[in-house]
């Protein structure tokens, strides 16, 4: 109800904050002037939304706008904009309103285009991983960094990649795949890994790079068109002994002789999760399943085709191709990919691009003397009032040491330099958000509309809606006084209709009170000229 009410008020309350300074005054409410340009902006928005001709009149819309200004005046007098609930709701809305300004739409669009390419083409990669963790000491991190460079240099010197992988890689699968992790497409790997794979040419070795798992380098073995996704059913025998092999071969022979796949699933398959649907698995693309399963499944070319028995770490399988889902066109996938990019951190990457632009836009100064104080061993035990030096400036904004002190107090997982870099980035974004109201008229207008709509809503809640629901005596008195206009004689027969009428009555009563309370002066000559202009 609140959102609907506030959105409806946008129609009658919105105006251009940066309106013409010399515009004629149309009316004054308790000393506050409203200009012709402000009213025209509201009125012209209304015209597009009103179908009934008599509701388009200047006078009727002027009365509505005056009533809104009266309610706004009263709401400010009652300080409804100073409650904690009001400030919480405005802050929430403000953050929602700011969000689009933190997205570099051009950069996000590029990410979506890149993602489509990475959906359309699959890449085959071998890699070496030297693990680090979030809690690795600086010394351990340096050892890992040096180890990955050493391994890469051996590959560049001509040593076989699989031998280097066996010797250096901390990836647990290296003993079976020798570093080759097979084919994958978009969203199957952490983004830095995916990004490096698709930005490295076939047969080339990448530079070392870091992910949450540690340091890597990779070699691209192949790049080819993706088959898209497929849907298969399978029979699984978990018995990996000779007896299991003989049974899976027997099942395969029966299938080749025309046996029903679904019946054999029910009779023999050990995959309990697929017994009731004929062995069917959810559709999948490259990089989703175990490598042997994926290879066997994607080698099936025709719908209904059945694979020979093959083995994975779970046992023996026979797969049957149910359906193919080729990669769609970019236009067909654009919306889906955009949502996936956002969910996978694409918006964060876009944020980083915005941050990069802001760093070039603002004059940012770090005061090293003030920052060096934080290299003291017991800095987190210092008294706040001793940390008054300026540690950072962004244009004219000055940030004192104590703000950074509060930031680091409960953050111990990073070095002071790393924490200050994070702190500086947050302050740059905060400064950008604070300046939006001055730099973006549309943002300023929309935020003001919501602020005013919210306190008028609260005023109406207190004086009209709550009264109509809680004041049962008042509701009854209204009903008996106006009983003649209702076809029913008992309030309980249609309480909803009476309550709606009572709310209208209370609102009219409120407006009458406010019109007596606050002086209104309409500039009749200006109104006449405005009416004449629209009549033409």
Phi, psi values for residue 178, rounded to 5°: 55, 30
- Rounded Cα–Cα distance for residues 312 and 294 (Å): 10
Instruction: Find the DSSP H helices in 99-241.
Output: 105-120, 138-156, 161-168, 174-177, 191-198
pLDDT of residue 1: 59
CA distances from 239 to 276, 312, 316, 463 (A): 21, 11, 7, 75
DSSP structure string for 361-372:
HS-EEE-HHHHH
Give the number of other Cβ atoms within 10 Å of residue 173's Cβ. Answer: 13
- Rounded Cα–Cα distance for residues 250 and 237 (Å): 12
pLDDT of residue 22: 43
CA dihedral (399, 401, 406, 412) positive or negative: positive
Q: Is 112 exposed, middle or buried (0-12, 13-18, 19+ CB in 10 A)?
A: buried
pLDDT of residue 14: 47
Residues of the chain below pLDDT 70: 1-22, 48-55, 345-348
Stated pTM of the model: 0.59
CA distances from 71 to 60, 439, 518 (A): 17, 29, 10
Contact 522, 26 (CB under 8 A): yes
Q: pLDDT of 302-343, one tens digit each?
A: 999 999 999 999 999 999 999 999 999 999 999 999 989 888
Strand order in the sheet with 310-312: 284-285, 229-237, 315-325, 310-312
Q: Is 501 exposed, middle or buried (0-12, 13-18, 19+ CB in 10 A)?
A: middle
pLDDT of residue 5: 60
pLDDT of residue 3: 57
Residues in the chain: 536
CA distances from 205 to 72, 97, 151, 177, 334 (A): 66, 44, 12, 18, 31
pLDDT of residue 284: 94
Domains in the chain, start-ordered, CATH in brackets? 2-77+442-471+498-535 (no CATH), 229-325 (3.10.50.40), 362-437 (no CATH)
Which structure tokens are listed for 413?
Answer: 């997982």
- Rounded Cα–Cα distance for residues 145 and 275 (Å): 49
Contacts within 8 Å (CB) and 24+ apart, 34-42: 34/65, 34/69, 36/526, 36/530, 39/65, 39/530, 40/530, 41/14, 41/15, 41/16, 42/11, 42/12, 42/13, 42/14, 42/15
Q: How wide is the angle at C-alpha 74 spanned by C-alphas 72 and 79, nearest 5°?
A: 95
pLDDT of residue 17: 39
What residues contact 445, with CB distance under 8 A and at least 6 apart? Answer: 14, 15, 16, 17
Rounding to the nearest 10 degrees, give the CA dihedral for residues 383, 389, 391, 394.
Answer: 130
CA dihedral (3, 8, 9, 10) positive or negative: positive
pLDDT of residue 430: 93
Q: Is 137 exposed, middle or buried (0-12, 13-18, 19+ CB in 10 A)?
A: exposed
Which structure tokens are listed for 128?
Answer: 């070496």
Q: pLDDT of 71-93, one tens digit each?
A: 999 999 999 999 999 999 999 99
Measured in Å, how far apart are the chain's first and last C-alpha atoms?
39
CA dihedral (312, 315, 318, 324) positive or negative: negative
Contact 122, 286 (CB under 8 A): yes
User: Coil, strand, or helix at residue 489?
Assistant: coil
Pairing of strands 229-237, 284-285: antiparallel
Contact 353, 429 (CB under 8 A): no
**Beta pairing partners, 34:** 27
pLDDT of residue 352: 78
Q: Which of 400, 401, 432, 404 is nearest to 420 (CA)?
A: 404
Phi, psi values for residue 19, rounded to 5°: -75, 170
SS3 track for 291-328: HHHHHHHHCCCCCCCECCCEEECCEEEEEEEEEEECCC
Q: Which of 69, 82, 88, 11 is nearest to 42 (CA)?
A: 11
Phi-psi region of 326 (alpha: psi -120 to 50; beta: other; left: phi over 0): beta
């Amino acid at each position: 109800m609140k959102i609907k009410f506030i959105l409806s008020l946008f129609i009658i309350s919105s105006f251009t904050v940066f309106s013409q300074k010399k515009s004629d005054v149309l009316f004054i409410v308790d000393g506050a002037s409203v200009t012709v340009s402000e009213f025209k902006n509201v009125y012209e928005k209304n015209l597009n939304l009103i179908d009934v001709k008599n509701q388009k009149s200047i006078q009727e819309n002027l009365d509505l706008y005056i009533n809104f200004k009266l309610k706004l005046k009263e709401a400010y007098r009652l300080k409804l904009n100073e409650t904690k609930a009001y400030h919480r709701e405005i802050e929430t809305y403000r953050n929602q309103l700011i969000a689009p300004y933190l997205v570099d739409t051009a950069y996000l669009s590029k990410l979506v285009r890149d993602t489509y390419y990475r959906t359309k083409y699959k890449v085959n990669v071998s890699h070496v991983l030297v693990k680090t963790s979030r809690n690795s000491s600086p010394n351990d991190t340096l050892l890992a960094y040096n180890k990955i460079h050493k391994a890469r240099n051996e590959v560049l010197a001509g040593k076989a990649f699989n031998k280097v992988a066996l010797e250096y890689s901390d990836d647990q699968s290296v003993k079976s795949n020798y570093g080759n992790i097979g084919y994958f497409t978009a969203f199957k790997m952490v983004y830095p890994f995916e990004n490096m794979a698709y930005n490295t040419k076939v047969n080339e070795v990448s530079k070392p790079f870091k992910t949450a798992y540690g340091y890597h380098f990779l070699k691209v073995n192949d790049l080819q068109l993706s088959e898209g996704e497929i849907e298969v059913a399978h029979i699984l025998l978990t018995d990996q002994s000779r007896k299991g092999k003989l049974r899976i071969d027997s099942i395969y022979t029966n299938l080749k002789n025309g046996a029903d796949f679904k019946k054999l699933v029910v009779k023999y398959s050990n995959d309990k999760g697929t017994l009731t649907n004929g062995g069917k698995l959810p559709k999948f693309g490259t990089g989703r399943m175990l490598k042997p399963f994926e290879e066997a499944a994607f080698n099936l070319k025709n719908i209904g085709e059945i694979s020979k028995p093959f083995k994975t770490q779970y046992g023996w399988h026979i797969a049957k191709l149910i359906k193919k889902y080729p990669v769609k066109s970019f236009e067909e996938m654009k919306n889906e990919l955009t949502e996936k990019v956002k969910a996978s951190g694409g918006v964060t990457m876009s944020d980083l691009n915005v941050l990069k632009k802001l760093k070039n836009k603002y004059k940012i100064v770090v005061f090293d003397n003030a920052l060096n104080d934080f290299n003291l061993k017991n800095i987190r035990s210092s008294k706040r009032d001793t940390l008054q030096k300026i540690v950072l400036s962004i244009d004219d904004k000055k940030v004192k040491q104590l703000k950074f002190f509060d930031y680091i107090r409960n953050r111990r997982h990073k070095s002071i330099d790393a924490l200050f870099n994070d702190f500086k980035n947050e302050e740059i974004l905060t400064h950008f958000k604070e300046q939006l109201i001055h730099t973006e008229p549309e943002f300023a207008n929309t935020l003001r509309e919501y602020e005013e709509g919210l306190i008028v809503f609260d005023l109406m809640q207190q004086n009209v809606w709550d009264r109509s629901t809680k004041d049962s005596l008042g509701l009854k008195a209204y009903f008996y006084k106006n009983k003649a206009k209702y076809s029913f004689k008992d309030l309980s027969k249609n309480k909803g209709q009476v309550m709606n009428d009572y709310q209208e009555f209370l609102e009219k009563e409120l407006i009458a009170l406010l019109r007596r309370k606050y002086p209104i002066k309409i500039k009749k000559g200006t109104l006449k000229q405005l009416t004449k202009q629209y009549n033409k």
